[in-house]
Amino acid sequence: MNSNTAGLLDVGIGLIWLACLVITILKGKIWSTIIGVVCAVAIALGWTVGGWYIFNPFIYIPVYAAMRLARPNSWWSNRYYSKNTSKFVRAVIRFGLVKEYIDNRRKALPPEEFKTCLLNLYVIAQMSRASTEYIKAAIDEVSVKKS
């Protein structure tokens, strides 16, 4: 591979990595962003594993974080999960904000829609292999508060 092609490959990989870093920021994953930036600075200063930056495992953290669910309170979640309630509920379950989600829905929805919301929450939890016991406990806790 000549140096011109290698340079283009480096630029392409760098642009993909930078796009993933921006997505990671928008998804609210600050620690993944910080680790990715520190790793990029270390590589720019000459620290590599085996002489190749591609073998540095920390360089892939922003790429991995960009593929995962966003935090429920991030810009990405507000923009892209508002119409996809399944993803939003999965993010709520993953980040442990089920009780807050249930409380907010209870305040915002009429009782019949709230019951449908709880049912959807439970179904999505089962589909996403989340701990349904945790969801049941949160629903029961809200039911006890309401009574």
Residue ending a domain, choose from 67, 93, 112: 67
Residues in the chain: 147
pLDDT band at 143 (very low <50, low <70, confident <90, very high): low
Residues 63 and 80 in one domain: no
- pLDDT at position 35 is 87
Structurally, the chain folds into a number of domains equal to 2
Residue 52: beta bridge partners? 49
For residues 36 and 61, is the Cβ–Cβ distance under 8 A?
yes
pLDDT of residue 63 exceeding 80, the answer is yes
Where in the sequence is the domain holding 119, given as residue range(s)? 75-146
